[in-house]
Amino acid sequence: MLKQAIMNGLNTLVLAAASDGGLGGAIKDLLNRASVPQIFVPLMAIGLIVALLTYRVWTKPKIAGLLGLGFIGFYLWSATDENFFKIIVKPDNVPITIMLTAMAIVTWVAFRQAAINDRRIERGEPLIESGADDKVLVWPDLVYTEMICLVLCTIALVVWAILLKAPLEPAANPTNIPNPSKAPWYFLGLQELLVYFDPWIAGVLLPGFIILGLVALPYIDKNPRGNGYYTFSQRKMVIWVFMFGWIILWVALIVLGTFLRGPNWNIFGPYETWDAHRPAALLNVNVSDLFWVVLPEKTGLWNPGLPKEPMWGLPTWLVREGPGLMVLGAYFFILPVVLAKSVCAKLYKDLGLIRYAVFWLLMSWMILVPIKMVLRWLFNLKYFVAITEYFFNI
Amino acid sequence: MSVFGNIGNYIRESQIWGSVFRHGIPRDRRTRAMAVLSNVFLHLHPVAVRKSGIRLSFTWCMGGLTFFLFLAETITGVLLMFYYRPVVEYAYNDIIQLRAHVTLGLLREIHRWGAHAMVIAIWLHMLRVFLTGSYKPPREFNWGVGVILLKLTLLLSFTGYLLPWDQLAIWAITVGSNMARATPVLGHEGPGAAAMMIGDVPLIHAGSDARFLLLAGTSVGPGALLRFYVLHCIFIPLVVLVLIAVHFWRIRKDGGISGPL
Ligand code: HEM
């Protein structure tokens, strides 16, 4: 599917470049097509993987500068498009542009120093941050820095406030539901997850696990190295996991939710007009449908049809959802054990039982998010387990 | 000596000055240390800090920026409270009046953009603490305090979002608070809620679940406005303030800004 989309895109690119829209139109068309989650999210993930693998290369000031300039140029060029412009200048969306810019800068600053430190570690030289006895007095060094920051930030905030009016829409009207209704931008990653999960997971369980996971992090990450200085090579695994969660599952989904989701929560490319009359999405299937209907239809092993009454002394829902429950059970409870005995044997030894169990509880939920996304994109999977009777759908 | 110098000396030798500042002009090591030690606010800092720790490229100044924004929000927020009444009949109009008639109507802008900026700053602060590995021992606890502060900051923003009582506000809060309806066990559409029964009487229904607790009703209405107002202006800021005090105290007790051992 991805390949087909890319081929389509390239085709249109070539065709359009030769015709009226020109190259600009063709690029916009390509990016509009790349805005659907099944392309946008994997592209982001690939981008992150490449960036982390080549962190010593792109962080070089010249290359980073070029990348930055290229991106600014692209953003400005995009802003000449009416639809794109409309989205980014929505007052409450302006902070997102600011966040993305600030994030790009600090991420560069961090990985640049990590690259330098990692080289120095290899050569056995002292780190950028070394020299622990190098103390300076708080007055004047720190206090003055703080003073200057305070003045600059006040100015920046006042200028921002003068330039951009705070939004105020018509008075609240409980009978007039806007389409789309969006949560504040910093929660839009979670709202985006509602596409894939029921509210009790997207809105309660996952945020809870994020908080729990962050609090638990210092107790699970037993690696004593990389304490108090920038490094990547000494903390590879934890940085991979954290950056995946932060960049893909949090930031990229916010961008998707704010910039690309339009009426009826449909995807609209950044250069497309929001049209409220798009057809609704396809029908989705559950694991129970796959097992009780699709599988027997294909193989003829048993009569196709969802179980309608209790069987083997088990309630209907348990029989119906048995296959899904087994899949999830294996994923949550058997997989970690298998891993502890094989690939993760060393990790298990280092962490011990309790830490390892907590680690996998958090990891399984984190990984379940992309798994479910991919299964949705490929097979229209709706639920692994759909015990709608008890609002227990995963 | 110039006239100004004389006046300056006169002031500095006066009893009033001496009673406020108990040290000389911070020109040498001793008086500079005294300047920090004898001031309750500056005393949040140690007397001396690691040179590498206060480099801009190490901390990005993001923790400090978050704190600055918190103070800016407190000040503008108090001023806004003079003009705003958390009652459905008045709230929206008060905002319009504020914009049209109040000198320095810019307050609302500063307050709103400051709130967004604070969310961004706290995220980046956390990112830098993570990437420098500063959550590792002995700073595990302070990292935990930070995570709670992060959650509270988001809640502050979220509760404030409702107060203008415009379309943006109520629907954003409706989307957000609808999640509470699905809280496992405690939300009336959450898994496990059906099991909470006394005989035939369900304990958890639309009028008694987690969302009801949050909104004082089954939808975003007058009760929700008042609740969010109180949470936004009093309860959460107080908790945040206390936790920031703990946070800063622990930074010192954990050995100052982290650095390689
Ligand atoms: C209201 C929110 C917060 C305020 C005002 C605040 C303020 C600060 C300040 C001023 C520092 C000194 C160093 C720096 O500027 O980086 C600091 C350090 C620290 N912060 Fe925060 N912070 C907040 C939230 C957080 C959060 C969300 C986390 C993590 C989840 C966190 C974890 C830490 C840790 C572990 C340190 C010690 C770092 C070190 O020693 O290098 N803080 N904080």
Distance CA B33, CA A138 (A): 8
Distance from CA of B23 to the nearest CA of A (A): 13
**A372-393 mean pLDDT:** 87
Q: Which residue has the higher pLDDT, A280 or B185?
A: B185
Mutating to test ligand 1, I would choose from B129, B249, B252 the residue with most ligand atoms within 8 A of its C-beta, which is: B129
A143 touches chain B (CB under 8 A): yes
pLDDT in tens, A98-149: 999 999 999 999 999 999 999 999 999 989 888 756 788 888 888 888 889 8
8 A C-beta contact, residue A228 and residue B133: yes
Please give the pLDDT value at position B75.
94
Write down the pLDDT at residue B72.
95
Chain A CB within 8 Å of residue B79 CB: no
Q: Residue A17: pLDDT above 60? A: no
Q: Count the neighbouring beta carbons within 10 Å of the beta carbon of residue B20.
A: 8
Q: Among A127, A139, A178, whose Cβ lies nearest the Cβ of B171?
A: A178
Which chain B positions have a beta carbon within 8 Å of A184's beta carbon?
A: 157-158, 161, 172, 176
Instruction: Verify whether ligand 1 is closer than 6 Å to residue B142 (CB atom).
Output: yes
Inter-CA distances, B100 with B93, B95, B103, B104, B105, Å: 10, 9, 9, 10, 7
pLDDT at residue A87 greater than cutoff 80: yes
* pLDDT < 50: residue spans in chain B: none
DSSP A256-325: IIIIIB-GGG-B--TTS---TTPPPPPP-B-HHHIIIIIHHHHH-SS--S---S-BTTB-HHHHHHHHHH
State whether A208 and A325 are in the same domain: no
Total count of residues recorded for chain A: 394
A256 shares its domain with A360: no
The residue among A96, A44, A56, A52 whose CA lies nearest residue A75 is A96
Tell me the nearest-neighbour CA distance from A134 into chain B, angstroms.
6
d(CA A146, CA B128): 18
Cis omega (within 30 of 0) for bond into A91: no
**What tens digit of pLDDT does each residue of A188-232 get?**
999 999 989 988 999 899 999 999 999 999 999 999 999 999 999
DSSP structure string for A188-207: HHHHHHTTTS-HIIIIIIHH
- Range(s) within chain B of domains with CATH label 1.20.810.10: 55-162+220-253
Cα separation, A360 vs A355, in Å, equals 9
Where does the pLDDT of residue A292 fall: very low under 50, low under 70, confident under 90, or very high at 90 and above? confident
H or E segment to which residue A9 belongs: helix A2-18
With respect to residue A172, please indicate whether it lies within any of the assigned structural domains. no
**Residue B126 Cα, ligand 1 centroid: separation in angstroms?**
7
Distance CA B66, CA A12 (A): 47
How many separate domains does chain A show? 3
Same domain for A207 and A231, yes or no, is: yes
Is residue A15 a part of any domain in this protein?
A: yes
Q: What is the pLDDT of residue A19?
A: 54
* Distance separating alpha carbons of residues A30 and A27, to the nearest angstrom: 5
- Ligand 1 geometric centre to CA of A103 (Å): 17
Take atom 22 of ligand 1 and give the residue whose Cα is closest.
B63
Q: Kindly state whether residues A52 and A114 are assigned to the same domain.
A: yes
> Is B50 close to A134, i.e. CB distance below 8 A?
yes
Domain boundary among A212, A234, A265: A265
C-alpha–C-alpha distance, residues A149 and A202, integer Å:
38
Its domain, for residue A368, covers 287-393
pLDDT value of residue A156: 94
> For residue A386, is it within any domain?
yes
For A64-68, A157-161, A286-290, B166-170, which range has the lowest pLDDT when averaged over its residues? A286-290
Query: Is B177 touching ligand 1 by the criterion CB < 6 Å?
Result: no
CA of A256 to the centre of ligand 1 (A): 29
Q: Do A142 and B168 touch (CB under 8 A)?
A: no
Whether residues A199 and B134 touch (CB distance < 8 A) is answered with no
Q: Residue A279 has what pLDDT?
A: 54
Chain A touched by B142 (CB under 8 Å):
no
Predicted pLDDT of residue A67:
95
Closest CA to A314 of A305, A327, A304, A325: A325
Same domain, A241 and A326: no
The CA angle A18-A23-A27, to the nearest 5 degrees, is 125
Residues A249 and A107 in one domain: yes
- Name the residue with higher pLDDT: A5 or A270: A270
Interface contact flag, A140 B187, Cβ < 8 Å = no
Interface predicted TM-score of the whole assembly (ipTM), two decimals: 0.90
Asked whether residue A130 is assigned to any structural domain, the reply reads yes
Q: Which two tokens stand for residue A218?
A: 């210092």
Put simply, whether A332 touches B (Cβ < 8 Å) is no
| Same domain assignment for residues A11 and A95 | no
Whether residue B205 lies within 8 A of chain A, CB to CB, comes out as no
Query: Which residues have a Cβ under 8 Å from the Cβ of A2 and sit 6 or more positions away?
Result: A38, A39, A42
Q: DSSP assignment, residue A393?
A: E
Looking at the structure, do residues A243 and A376 belong to the same domain, yes or no?
no
Best interface-test mutation with A: which of B175, B196, B197 has the largest number of A CBs within 10 A? B175
pLDDT band at A280 (very low <50, low <70, confident <90, very high): low
Residues A102 and A239 in one domain: yes
- Whether A18 shows a pLDDT value over 60: the answer reads no
Please tell me the distance from the alpha carbon of residue B146 to that of residue B153, in angstroms, as a whole number.
10
Confidence label for A12 from pLDDT (cuts 50, 70 and 90): low
CB B94 within 8 A of CB B83: yes
Query: Yes or no: is domain B55-162+220-253 CATH 1.20.810.10?
Result: yes
Q: Where are the beta strands (DSSP E) in chain A?
A: 135-137, 386-387, 392-393
Query: Quick one: A56 and A25 in the same domain?
Result: no
Residue A25 Cα to ligand 1 middle (Å):
46
Each residue of A35-57: pLDDT tens digit? Answer: 888 899 999 999 999 999 999 99
Percent of chain A with pLDDT over 90: 53
- pLDDT tier at A369, thresholds 50, 70, 90: very high
Computed over every residue of chain A, the mean pLDDT equals 88
Q: Is B128 exposed, middle or buried (0-12, 13-18, 19+ CB in 10 A)?
A: buried
Which tokens sit at A314?
């088990």
Q: Tell me, yes or no, whether A72 and A207 share the same domain.
A: yes
In this structure, the answer to whether residues A207 and A351 fall within a common structural domain is: no
Strand pairing report for B197-198 and B201-202: antiparallel
